[in-house]
Structure 1
């Protein structure tokens, strides 16, 4: 049964990673969808995002996933499940400053292990995946909006416009301006021939 109120004692146990509370309760984090043992060394969550469960089964039945770092179910999370969790986190946070360290903390693993596992499962690094997501979103904005290149670059998490243009050209073979011009003229040409 989920405990709605977080007592000072429970919160102190989470903040201090007190192993004496392991298996007394488990805590889940609403924003990540992960649950942990009190002793977990992951980043301390915001208090308002924490749910408390008496056992791992309750957290699982509430659709929380076990932490890769502290293994609250004493089972190893399958790598594909963990990579799905990582890509989901990146998909929701791609415009932010995402470092490997931040992703590892939010997805409860070590940066090295996360990088290695992600590349083995997906064939690309987390950094490459982030850039792909950013460029995909930039393409959509170039075609569907009148935002400037600078505004689009900033909105997808690459505030340095020349760097954004370089990455875009490397991935798409054209600058953002050329890409927009071609796509819009192609669209206009198709509309005129109908």
Structure 2
């Protein structure tokens, strides 16, 4: 990529808007150079001469800068958000971070996500993390605090409370119940 293009991206230079578009491999989104979204890692950026080129390579248009002049359907955007959550669930995630990664405003993201899925982004993240924790509890003998950390929850007491709220069992009870069910299954 030319240094000139990188400078245009990092400075949100609108003068370059019709000269090229850039896509971010890790998010699958493409933007105009003037987009105010978080600056991507330079190594993850691809340059396109037109929006159609980016679309042909299966990149989605940004919700924030609308590089095709059209709005991404809300269902597609929510799918993009859930994919982002599933890819980054081990990391600290906030509504603002998700909005930056998925190129929208935090308020609009929250409202749209809840309308389409019936749950808030935070509830989805919590549920997804607990689902991953259940898998780890069933497949390993890791201590509960390590399971919590491995799914992006650094506080074991909070993890235990959240796990019990969602499943009805503490992590230890869930692991014990699962092991008993495995031993009772006929061979």
Residue 142 of structure 2 is aligned with which of 147, 152, 175? 147
Task: Report whether the alignment pairs 1:10 with 2:5.
Answer: yes
RMSD: 0.7
Alignment counterpart, residue 39 of structure 1, candidates 3, 23, 34: 34
Q: Distance in 2 between matches of 1:136 and 1:8?
A: 44
Deviations 1:166-187 (A, max 9, x none): 0001111111101111110111
Q: Residues 104-146 of structure 1, C-alpha deviation per residue, up to 9 Å, x if partnerless?
A: 0000000000000000000000000000110000111111111
Which deviations, in whole Å up to 9, do the C-alpha atoms of 1:40-65 show, x marking residues without a partner? 00000111111000000000001100
Matches within 5 A, 1:1-194: 6-191=1-186, 194=187
Deviation at 1:188, TM superposition (A): 0.5
For residues 8-63 of structure 1, the C-alpha deviation after alignment (integer angstroms, 9 at most, x for no partner) is 11111111101011111000001100000010000001111110000000000011
Separation in structure 2 between the aligned mates of residue 60 and residue 80 of structure 1, nearest angstrom: 18
Would you say how many aligned residue pairs link Structure 1 and Structure 2?
A: 187
Q: Measure, in 2, the Cα distance between the counterparts of 1:166 and 1:52.
A: 46
CA distance in 2, matches of 1:15, 1:142: 43
1 CA distance for matches of 2:92 and 2:112? 21
1:74 match: secondary structure? coil
CA distance in 1 between counterparts of 2:129 and 2:96 reads: 19
Q: Distance in 2 between matches of 1:124 and 1:140?
A: 22
Secondary structure of residue in 2 paired with 1:69: coil
TM value normalised by structure 1: 0.95
List structure 1 runs of 4+ shifted beyond 3 angstroms. none
Instruction: Give the SS at the match of 1:76.
Output: coil
Query: SS where residue 166 of structure 1 aligns?
Result: helix
